Structure 1
């Protein structure tokens, strides 16, 4: 004789799936900051691969900051929402916006006497 067991519902026993909101902002921000380092790649890397990403840093940083702000706004009122990814995306996006603008301002200041 076989023991009788109740069928177990697997979905009831498992923990809820993690909430992945803010990943877009985080990924865009990290990619934008990583693109700032492309000019320092080794010389065997083609020049277009070292300098072309610099043209995309500012737009990618702006997209990261906007995506993070939109995500934070959509999470307003949710007590269980994890806002760290969106905040990190805003931080990295802001870094990717401020650094190129600071370099351009410095270059203009240095070149004004020439």
Structure 2
């Protein structure tokens, strides 16, 4: 129940009106209505706060995951480029065993990073 502010002419009570039990009951009733209305409003506010808090928490988690994924992508690129580059370079220089070791190490580390991305 939304109550509008009474006009100034109706808010001034005489001494007799202020001391009457009917006025007290009327004002007590209005105070009770306002308290219940305030309680409903506070309950709705807590409900919204809970929803927004949950949404903010989920957003923070997703942002953190995104940062991690970017670092993993950079690591995957560096590992694959280094392993392939050094391995191929060694193979073309005639160091076939060393070249394959670099290639295999690059593939293993790359696979581990891909596996960690899936978790």
Same structural fold, with TM-score higher than 0.5 when normalized by the shorter chain: no
Shorter-chain TM range is 0.3 to 0.5
TM-score relative to the length of structure 1: 0.34
Q: Which has the higher contact order (CA 8 A, sep 6+)?
A: 1
TM-score relative to the length of structure 2: 0.33
When Rg is computed on C-alpha atoms for both structures, the one with the higher figure is: 2
